[in-house]
Amino acid sequence: MSQASNKNKRKRRVSSNERRQQLIEAALPLFAQVGFRGVTTRQLATTAGVSEALLYQHFPSKEELYSAVQDHCCQPREELKTVLSGLEPSTATLVELLYFQTKMVIDKAVMGGSGGNQIFPRLMMHSVLEDGEFARLYLQRAVSRMAATMQRSVIAAKQAGDIPAEGVPDDLADEMRFWFCHHLLVTVLMYRLTPDPVVAYPVTEDQLQQQIVLFMLKGIGLTEAAIAKYCNFSSLRDQTEHWFNLIRDPLVESEGSDP
């Protein structure tokens, strides 16, 4: 075999940015499995297939690597920004967002769950059990825009008479509605992170998600007439799948679990 042939077979030199990205992606499942406090730099290096010395060249401490993991996971998706910015505040948008949020948390791998990998939800759960920094960063960077869009749609629904007036101050109630829905979805997800769900609902996956959406719509105060008018699950499913096609998540794709 010629020297030229041997040279061609040599591995291409990995750039510093590529190596950093490889280390981040290798660290993700380990941090998800045992949390920040439960992992050592030696374990991180072994998982990445490199020496600790090489790991320290790119990340001088475990804290810096974890910070890079946070940035990697919590960057707001530009495609999602585009989708949200194109939505007019309305009752229809409110229903669409609740269905989309349900699919995103419970079913789609964008945030893990039964339909995808569990790395991201486990990172979130470990964060809440530790200092909460990762969870706060994600909610601030990636979820706040959706919360604001839904809040504007709640206001529009009230103006349209689809949500009756109530005694809670409007500004407080409008913000709380989103977070109550979000917390419900995350709780359902949490009980499904085990191989056998802690709570096994006696319905199909699709039926479960539809019941969750209806529960949330009634909980935020939407009238029965408005629910009947805007909650068409077939149309909502098509709309949501279109949005998911626009916001493919690199974290999910790197795990080989495509929604």
**Tens of pLDDT, residues 15-71:** 888 999 999 999 988 998 888 888 999 999 999 999 999 999 999 999 999 989 888
The domain spans of the chain are: 8-73, 75-254
Q: Which distant-in-sequence residues (6+ apart) come within 8 Å of 210 by Cβ?
A: 233
The rounded distance, in Å, linking the Cα atoms of 107 and 96 is 16
Does residue 76 carry a pLDDT above 90? no
Does residue 233 carry a pLDDT above 70? yes
Distances in whole angstroms, Cα of residue 162 to Cα of each of 80, 93, 172, 236: 26, 13, 18, 18
Cβ neighbours, 10 Å, residue 110: 22
Tell me the average pLDDT across 88-117.
76
- For position 216, what pLDDT does the model report? 96
What fold is seen in the domain 75-254? Answer: Tetracycline Repressor; domain 2 (1.10.357)
Task: Say which range, 85-89, 132-136, 244-248, has the weakest mean pLDDT.
Answer: 244-248
Cβ neighbours, 10 Å, residue 183: 10
Looking at 1.10.10.60, 3.40.190.10, 1.10.3720.10, 1.10.150.20, the CATH number of the domain 8-73 comes to: 1.10.10.60
Sort 29 into a burial class: Cβ within 10 Å, 0-12 / 13-18 / 19+. Answer: middle
Task: Tokens for 94, please give them.
Answer: 């409110």
The rounded distance, in Å, linking the Cα atoms of 47 and 101 is 33
The rounded distance, in Å, linking the Cα atoms of 113 and 101 is 12
The CA-CA-CA angle for residues 218, 220, 225, to 5°, reads: 45
Task: Say which range, 39-43, 110-114, 188-192, 218-222, has the weakest mean pLDDT.
Answer: 110-114
Residue whose C-alpha is closest to residue 82's, from 175, 23, 145: 145
- For position 65, what pLDDT does the model report? 93
**pLDDT: is 107 or 109 the higher one?**
107
No. of H helices and E strands in the chain?
A: 15, 0
The rounded distance, in Å, linking the Cα atoms of 47 and 21 is 14
Task: Tokens for 96, please give them.
Answer: 């669409």
- For position 141, what pLDDT does the model report? 80
Task: Tokens for 62, please give them.
Answer: 């475990």
Contact 81, 246 (CB under 8 A): no
**pTM (2 d.p.):** 0.77
pLDDT bin (cut points 50, 70, 90) of residue 81 is confident
